[in-house]
Amino acid sequence: MSKKVLVLLPDGVSLRNFAYTSFYKKGLEKGHEILFWNHTPFDLEKLGFSQVVFKKEKPHWLTDILKTACIRIELDLFTKRDTDNVYQSYKFPLSKSSLKAKFKTALVKWFCYKYGSEAGLLAIRKRMIAQERKTAYYRSCKEMLQKEKPDILFCASQRSLIAISPLTAAQDLNIPTASYIFSWDNVPKATTVVTSDHYFAWSDHMKKELLHYQRYIEPKQIIVTGTPQFEPHFQKEILLRKEAFYKEHNLDITKKYICFSGDDITTSPKDELYLRDVASAIRALNKKGHHLGLIFRRCPVDFSTRYDAFIEEFKDVIVLLPPLWDKIGDGWNTILPTREDIHLQVNLIAHTEFVINLASSMVFDYVTAGKPCAYMNYNYLNEKEAVAPGVYLYDFVHFRSMPSPEAVIWLDHPDSIADALENMLQGVPDTVAAAQDWFAIINEQPAIEAPDRIWAGIEKLMNTSSTFIQN
């Protein structure tokens, strides 16, 4: 029987998973009506999709403060439960830049004090929902749901403040709700902001994380599906021949290329020095008789000039291949991925030898093609920009899912990069095998079947949940 599925897209990055994959097509093939509730600046009607667009929504002014307090309370509770201070490193500093910011900070601290317990955590979550029910935004969400009468509301991200009112309104109307966990590192960071009836997880590993961290969630509420974001890597029809790809991007057909994948300035504040070190190593290898190039793909939300001097210094080595994202507005959440960039990324992986980065999930994108990843494992965080061993990011909880340190090649010092790259060029099958084991832990396999598993989960919920009740 045909059902109506309302897909809430709270942010632009969710387009990648649910607008640029086969998710929409597969839902139509199953006979369902699919309507996107679109909070992004991108017009989905350009893709032939049905959509309703958010009005000028405005959550309750206190909800954002409560959300910040809730996250900090959870991180404190995680620290106590696991006797592990790593969770404190997930906290963002509270602002005191203005009188308004100081007021908000004071309120956050007060709510953390008042609700800083396991019981308080549940109470503050209920209070967030109660605040949203008072808003015109909540009432407009409820009116829209009463008009559209969906059989389920599926939210594409669990971490968005603006999703609280739509999900609450749906639950108040007895419409079943589900939220998709946005990223592999989200759960230990206390970013499960919304409360829904069910949660779609990447893997059994993520399911265990949800049960460990979000103790108000029961096992029956979690459906393991995998993520759709890796599906394009298995679609051979979007692959270009090597000659065509090289010609399109003015690459030297006689060279082998390595990819350096850049990070944002918060994650990697000295990323430009890593690019310099890798380019210097490649130049040294070329002097030994290799014929190599370095393709630099910068982080899509990094528009800084910090790399420019080294790009010029190593123009004999570095080729720029920027991501094809659209900058529609001024905020980071208005920089949107495109279908064209997905195709570019798939072909970049196919036609480069391996990838180098700092703590990026690109390791999983490359291993879909049977190719390895090298992680930078030293830092320049001291004032003199001298090399120091280690990177604190690898202490984060999501890296503990790595079954073996051999899943990546560790670049521990600038002086050892050239030898490590030369070894990778000869083939590192043990590293690739370990990375594939890691990928199987963090994402349900086969990865290409994630959209099918998501639809199976949605259909199960629609078939077992109560019918729409008009309040």
For residue 103, being part of any structural domain is answered with: yes
Tens digit of each residue's pLDDT (9 = 90 or more) over 294-332: 999 999 989 899 999 999 999 999 999 999 998 776 665
Q: Is residue 161 part of a domain?
A: yes
Q: Is residue 469 part of a domain?
A: no
Residue 471 lies in a domain: no
Q: Pairing relation of β-strands 152-155 and 177-180? A: parallel
User: Based on the domain organization, do 339 and 460 belong to the same domain?
Assistant: no
Is the backbone peptide bond immediately before 446 cis, with ω within 30 degrees of 0?
yes
Cβ atoms of residues 401 and 363 within 8 Å: no
What one-character DSSP code corresponds to residue 53? E
Q: Is 352 a domain residue? A: yes
Q: Which of 100-104, 135-139, 335-339 has the lowest mean pLDDT?
A: 335-339
Phi, psi (rounded to 5 degrees) for 211: -70, -30
Q: Is 364 helix (H, G, I), strand (E, B) or coil?
A: helix
Whether residues 349 and 434 fall in one domain: yes
pLDDT tens-digit map of 266-287: 999 999 999 999 999 999 999 9
Does 167 share its domain with 266? no
Section 21-36 average pLDDT: 96
* Residue indicated by tokens 């290898």: 285
Q: Do 50 and 193 share a domain, yes or no? A: yes
Do residues 169 and 291 both lie within one domain? no
Position 394 in a domain: yes
pTM for the model stands at: 0.95
- The reply to whether 75 and 48 lie within a common domain is no
Domain region containing 99: 61-129
The total domain count for the chain is 3
Q: Residues 31, 70: one domain? A: no
Q: Report the percentage of the chain scoring pLDDT > 90.
A: 91
Asked if the structure places residue 286 within a domain, the reply is yes
Residue 332 pLDDT: 57
The pair of structure tokens assigned to 258 is 């390595």
- Domain stops at, among 74, 103, 129: 129
Same domain, 106 and 167: no
Residues 98 and 23 in one domain: no
Task: Report H helices in 351-467.
Answer: 362-367, 417-425, 429-442, 450-464
Rounded Cα distance, 452 and 438, in Å? 22
Q: Parallel, antiparallel, or unpaired: how do β-strands 355-357 and 256-261 relate?
A: parallel
Is 215 part of a structural domain of the chain?
Answer: yes
Same domain, residue pair 296 and 414: yes
Residues 41 and 85 in one domain: no
CATH of the domain at 151: 3.40.50.2000
* Residue 393 Ramachandran class (φ > 0 left, ψ -120 to 50 alpha, else beta): alpha
User: pLDDT band for position 469 (50/70/90)?
Assistant: very low
- pLDDT single digits (tens) 383-428: 788 899 999 999 999 999 999 999 999 999 999 999 999 999 999 9
In this structure, the answer to whether residues 290 and 398 fall within a common structural domain is yes
